[in-house]
Structure 1
């Protein structure tokens, strides 16, 4: 019952695109593609860039980002030459991105365009956002009974004594703290119109009627001047959300009338069983107190495909006359949406799978109408698809290169000899390190941390390197020189600051400094035994070999495509030092990065800048 009160029916963040007074100029050109100052600023301001807040003018970070963007375009063009864009997995990812984008345009046209927010609405939102209200409630499914409870309280009955006799008391071990946007609008209106110690008249909700008591009011934390603009924009977004809710409900009542959509029950049960079998081992390996959501991976989907076979994959799971959804498309779309579960109970799992299946069935109807209206040709959709297609294809090229890399015992030994050169340190550091395989996971982790989740908790959910053994992700105390440039950069951080994302071997790391202590004097690093660090040396040797091979492809293709770059023009581009990841909530549900996030890759540049190879 409490959970139903804590969120509104539909969420939408109206993303306001950055506006720039700087005229757009080309920064790089290759083949038929151009990276402009607008492209660069959007990428810079909406994706995290390691270390940029420490560099003053940030020239180095700006150059790294531009070189990364160039490499992505170059490798994507190469991938198209290899016809990697015809692979099913790539086509399906692009199709899923297109579908969520055309639905967003449909939403904007039929719902968002009708939203009108007045200055009075914004003033009310700001006034409410400055207060925390602590509330409790009594509940009854019948209005007359709820009105009787309200009357008793108004006549002086003890709220505590009354609540103690009722089943909803178990949900309220302490008062619930709310502020603007915490509750649905009718509930919030009733609560904010009630003084401390007062009671609301019965408030109708789908499950019944609530009578709220306002226990106390306290101010919310003061918003810093530098954060006020963002804070006010969020309030504006939330007011828009509520207005959009009204039109959304009206739309849903009328749009789906007469449209018949069904799910094949047998295929649903087969998929439910397969998904449960794939996800439960990972769920059950977690402790009861420290459970994190388990997501469907590419490997899970590929394994289910093999088990089902081509005939079953080609069947229609969702039956809609004009736009059915095949089993194979459904599975990959499920993975694209980031569907996850946090329960090992078979019935609850089935319920959660049923809910996402209903959403995908609903979206099939919306997709059909959005495509019929031609939203796939909308400039926003075309631009997003081009950006994300380039990202998907460039990552596929990197994956193909990675599949060709092996390191020999001799190469590992050579790496060990190189790393064993004596250096000196003045501190020891301790950290929590999260390593993931895909760059697009980084903004999600940073956003979760910004919202209050600890790095240890995030390690348990996201870390993909089984070699990191500590259950909370701690590295243990080590000398910075043992991690090369990464260790040096980490030692320069303040406690609890985050380094990264940085490429570390096969993985991309986010590292939080949690401890630093001075040594008694300058301490030389004695090389550790070879067998102790062999795995680390193998990872470093693999990474160097991978980068060298990828550099060769990138430089060759950049020359073929006639790459030109204007680093002088880049120096004049004005950007902020705020490190953030920006997501866009899409109409009719779903969340995507405003632009794709790519791990920095600029190692190719010195080779490209050097002399052309002899003919």
Structure 2
């Protein structure tokens, strides 16, 4: 039976706490780094995790996951000792994350804690769920034009006559149910009597005048009461939150004015157009697909300015203005997307980006002024992410230093000819994307049984995905993190998202075979792919050995009794966290399975006197 090692996508606007009480019991300790029961539970229950096709007990799964986290802490401890936490890459990534978390803490204080839902709102919601309002409407993209229509109606013009004239501009009937419109628009419609019409109201589709044609009472099955209650709770909470937010927004931003250097803005926008055109041409991006600039692309903006200009103030806050260099570095962490490399469109998008940056910076400064960065839940989350970042950074140095000689590649080629490499192979279908938003769409579509080949054609950034549907040839299980994970999956299983240097990977295993390689290509054609496979395997084996060394160096201790008593929800889940005031990220850091170091570590310990 197919297993899907993902579960999408819980919306979270509050600190991620799965248990009512904080549980600081330590399950693993390495130097001054620990894995508490609380962190273990959060990450175990919010991380997709492959369940091996062989019989594995729930206790084995818990151990494998804890060993993976323990390895992360070991590598983080070493990275900190080596001073990698002061590197530019970590500082840039961590600064962006810290600002997001302190803004979220400000949201908790100013929005969430002040949001109150009156009982009358819930009562109104329950009443409205019982009825659907059938309407027809006049529509215009112009506020002035819709006001003229309204004046004509009030002067005695026939709604039906005007509807016939207006109908060619789009659909002119709509059945409105509770929660589908903005609250103000819904109020206008639900307050109508049959035959009456609303004043002009703004909707996402344009300016409208709605006329009520009929009210239909909806039959509600008693079995649906819980769904209705959840709907009312969701909508009333969203609307109450929106009212508090709008009030806060007006009060907070109305008295503050921040400008940017207009000449620098224009030059930045012009160069974004240039970079977008280059990206489109280099990656052969079709007109129907968006162009996404990644951090390395955006950092190239610095090349367009002299060192002196990079030091000048671009965002002109009265206190602590933001230099052009700082802005580019922080902008790079967010990425940039446009449908077309046209100046007008890029200017418009970039203008919104800069405006949002200024708003976020103002909120961040307010949060820091209040000391919200010192809240225990903020520090705990940031420490968890920082350990993950540091671990990844140190692990990447092993990948960079695992060179393979031509002699090693040739020796492996001869083993392949003999079918004696000892390496199993897998075949997968993969969707690779840079975007969490796209990853979310893919996960939702997979849950609805959409063919992953079609999803790869639609969303994967791999150049040949449209031709192959994301399907790979057979490759060794020793080839990268995907190979190691796929080795423990059955045919038909799906895993993801897996965070890779090149993006987020979601893949399905469609084939597996043992070492039965038949080689019909010369060494010259296979040399580079063999070197890549051996380099990856060498880096992985080096990482295993290094983890054993670190476990000894930092005196790793695992409390297996405490782990055994830890009750988990054994359902693989991937969860997004939507941050207050905007922003989205995985609810917890994603860690690929890494526990092959445990057996040699156990052997090492048993050999000690």
TM-score of the superposed pair, with normalisation by structure 1: 0.79
| Residue 305 (structure 1) aligned with residue 302 (structure 2) | yes
Q: What is the CA distance between 1:474 and its match in structure 2?
A: 3.1
Q: C-alpha separation between the residues in 1 aligned to 2:75 and 2:298?
A: 26
Change (3 A) 1:239 1:602: farther
Aligned position for 2:199: 202
Deviations 1:379-435 (A, max 9, x none): 122112211111221111122222212222233334445556659xxxx99853134
What is the DSSP-based 3-state SS (H/G/I as helix, E as strand, rest coil) of the residue aligned with 1:28?
A: strand
User: Corresponding residue for 1:473?
Assistant: 469
**Structure 1 residues 162 and 232, CA gap change in structure 2 (3 angstroms):** same
How many residue pairs get aligned? The number is 579
Counterpart for residue 211 of structure 1: 209
* Alignment counterpart, residue 250 of structure 2, candidates 245, 250, 253: 253
Partner of residue 603, structure 1: 596
1:364 aligned residue (358, 361, 364)? 361
Once residues 431 and 193 of structure 1 are traced to their aligned partners in structure 2, the CA distance between those partners, rounded to angstroms, is: 56
2:566 corresponds to = 573
Match of 1:511 among 507, 510, 524: 507
Q: Distance in 2 between matches of 1:472 and 1:148?
A: 58
Once the two structures are TM-superposed, the CA of residue 189 in structure 1 deviates from its matched residue by: 3.4
Give yes or no for contact 2:192–2:198 (8 Å, CA) kept in 1. Answer: no
Are residues 1:265 and 2:265 paired? no
Q: 1:559 aligns with which of 511, 531, 552?
A: 552
Q: In 1, distance between residues paired with 2:222 and 2:468?
A: 32
SS at match of 1:288: coil
1:287 Cα deviation from its structure 2 partner: 1.9
Rate the CA distance shift 1:430–1:609 in 2: closer, same or farther, 3 A. closer
Cα distance in 1 for residues equivalent to 2:20 and 2:54? 24
SS at match of 2:91: helix
Distance 2:372 2:249 in 1: 20
Does the CA-based 8 Å contact 1:128-1:180 persist in structure 2?
Answer: yes
1:546 aligned to 2:539? yes
Q: Would the aligned equivalents of 1:508 and 1:599 in 2 still touch at CA under 8 Å?
A: no
Corresponding residue for 1:590?
Answer: 583
Aligned pairs for 1:264-343 (under 5 A) are 264-283=261-280, 285-289=284-288, 291-292=289-290, 294-343=291-340
Over 3 Å counting, the alpha-carbon distance change for 1:445 and 1:536 in structure 2 is: farther
C-alpha distance in structure 1 between counterparts of 2:202 and 2:28, whole Å: 56
- For residues 57-104 of structure 1, the C-alpha deviation after alignment (integer angstroms, 9 at most, x for no partner) is 544433332222112211111111111111223112212212122222
| Structure 1 partner of 2:50 | 50
Query: What is the DSSP-based 3-state SS (H/G/I as helix, E as strand, rest coil) of the residue aligned with 1:611?
Result: helix
Question: 1:524 Cα deviation (Å)?
Answer: 6.6
Closer/same/farther in 2, CA of residues 354 and 397 from structure 1, 3 Å limit: same
Q: Cα offset for 1:267?
A: 1.5
Q: Distance in 2 between matches of 1:87 and 1:206?
A: 48
Question: Per the alignment, in what secondary structure is the counterpart of residue 557 of structure 1?
Answer: helix
The residue that corresponds to 1:28 in the other structure is 28
232-241 or 244-253: which moved more? 232-241
Match of 1:183 in 2: 181
Instruction: Provide the rounded CA distance (Å) in 1 between the counterparts of 2:526 and 2:79.
Output: 36
Q: How far has the Cα of 1:360 moved from its partner? A: 0.8
| 450-459 vs 586-595, which moves further | 450-459
Q: What is the distance in 2 between the residues matched to 1:595 and 1:155?
A: 58
Match of residue 161 from structure 1: 164
- Whole-Å Cα distance in 1 between the matches of residues 203 and 521 of structure 2? 67
For residues 471 and 96 of structure 2, the distance between their equivalents in structure 1, rounded to whole angstroms, comes to 38
Cα displacement string for residues 128-187 of structure 1 (whole angstroms, at most 9, x for unaligned residues): 67998886632352575343566699967268624325xxx24x4x86787654432112
Question: Judging changes above 3 Å, is the alpha-carbon distance between structure 1 residues 549 and 220 closer, same or farther for their aligned structure 2 residues?
Answer: farther
2:5 paired residue number? none
Separation in 1 of the partners of 2:390 and 2:339?
A: 32
* 8 Å CA contact retained: 2:456, 2:465: no
Which one is further off, 239-248 or 336-345? 336-345
Q: 1:529 aligns with which of 521, 528, 534?
A: 521
Residue matched to 2:4: none
1:326 to 1:598, Cα distance in 2 relative to 1, 3 A: farther
Is the alpha carbon distance of 1:12 and 1:383 closer, same or farther for their aligned partners in structure 2, counting shifts above 3 Å?
closer
Aligned partners of 2:191 and 2:222: how far apart in 1?
24
Q: Provide structure 2 residue ranges, at least 5 long, that are not aligned to the other structure.
A: 1-10
- Residue 352 of structure 1, CA deviation: 0.2
Q: Residues 562 and 113 of structure 1: is their aligned pair in 2 closer, same or farther, counting only changes over 3 Å?
A: same
Greater Cα shift, 414-423 or 108-117: 414-423
In structure 1, distance between residues paired with 2:126 and 2:54: 34
Partner of 1:7: none
Confirm whether residue 448 of structure 1 aligns to residue 441 of structure 2.
Answer: yes
Q: What is the Cα-based RMSD across aligned positions, in Å?
A: 4.5
More displaced 10-residue stretch of structure 1: 453-462 or 376-385: 453-462
Looking at structure 1, the residues matched to 240 and 390 of structure 2 have their Cα atoms a distance apart, in angstroms, of 39
Secondary structure at the aligned position of 1:210 is classed as: strand
Task: Verify the 8 A CA contact 2:24 2:38 in the aligned structure 1.
Answer: yes
Post-superposition CA distance 1:347-389 (Å, at most 9, x none): 1111100101011112222222221111111112211221111
TM (norm. structure 2) is 0.80
